[in-house]
A = this chain, B = another copy of it.
Amino acid sequence: MNTTSDRLLLVADLSGTFLFGLEGARIAITHDLDLLGILVLAFSTALAGGVIRDVLIGDVPPASLRDWRYPATAFLAGTIVFFLHRAVQALPETPLIALDAAGLSLFAVAGTQKAMDFEMNPFIAVLLGTVTGVGGGTIRDIFLAQVPAVLRTDIYATAALFGSIVMIVACRLKLPSTASALLGGTSCFLLRLLAFWQHWNLPKAP
């Protein structure tokens, strides 16, 4: 096993966890939750997508409960936002959207890869990759008693879906797996940013 590539993957995965954890905590504060609520939302936003994926493919305990660094990273992000929330709230929107898009791409790619490693059908792997990307935000919105944002607005889950499809098509065309992952992640990232910039939305029923 290539330890350098493994270490890179771990760093990427923990970075995504950290980014989504920051975002979950930020939203918890705008909903007036207390410290525990902030930590729970940081955890859920960062890790629930992967937990759902792992439960569905039968890889339990989920990866993020076998390695303490995942919850620790999410809680660290929550704690930072708790203490520095004025600074965090004052951040301009564009870099936050870009960071979030990076987290989404990373999780979509990681979820797709894991589903393929568990020999799921490609069609199902695309669904599981998307769930990995958007599951955390969905659970967070359910905790906040809101209709999940991904269901009503914006090109968001669609970007994860698109990146996941690109990655699987690239694998099928016999590209090396790192190249496929990069291609899928970049597709997701660019579509998300382009859609945000151009105010693209999915159609509603005619």
A residues engaging B (CB < 8 A)?
28-29, 31-38, 40-41, 51, 55-58, 60-62, 65-66, 68, 71-72, 81-83, 85, 118, 120-121, 123-124, 127-128, 142-148, 150-153, 157-158, 161, 201-206
User: When chains A and B are docked, how far (Å) is the Cα of A201 from the Cα of B36?
Assistant: 10
Report yes or no: A151 in contact with B65, Cβ–Cβ below 8 A: no
In the A-B complex, the 7 residue pairs with the smallest Cβ-Cβ separation, listed nearest first, are A37-B151, A58-B60, A34-B202, A85-B205, A35-B202, A68-B123, A29-B205
Chain B residues closer than 8 Å to A158, beta-carbon distance: 36
User: When chains A and B are docked, how far (Å) is the Cα of A124 from the Cα of B75?
Assistant: 13
State whether A144 and B143 are in contact (beta carbons under 8 Å apart), knowing that A32-B204, A36-B157, A72-B123 are contacts in the complex.
no
Chain B residues closer than 8 Å to A57, beta-carbon distance: 60-61, 65
Chain B residues closer than 8 Å to A120, beta-carbon distance: 61, 65
Sample of 18 further A-B pairs with CB below 8 A, known A34-B153, A36-B151, A68-B124: A32-B204, A33-B152, A34-B202, A35-B203, A35-B204, A36-B161, A36-B202, A37-B151, A40-B150, A51-B56, A55-B56, A56-B61, A61-B118, A65-B127, A81-B205, A85-B206, A143-B148, A144-B147
CB distance from A108 to the nearest CB of B (A): 14
CB distance from A75 to the nearest CB of B (A): 10
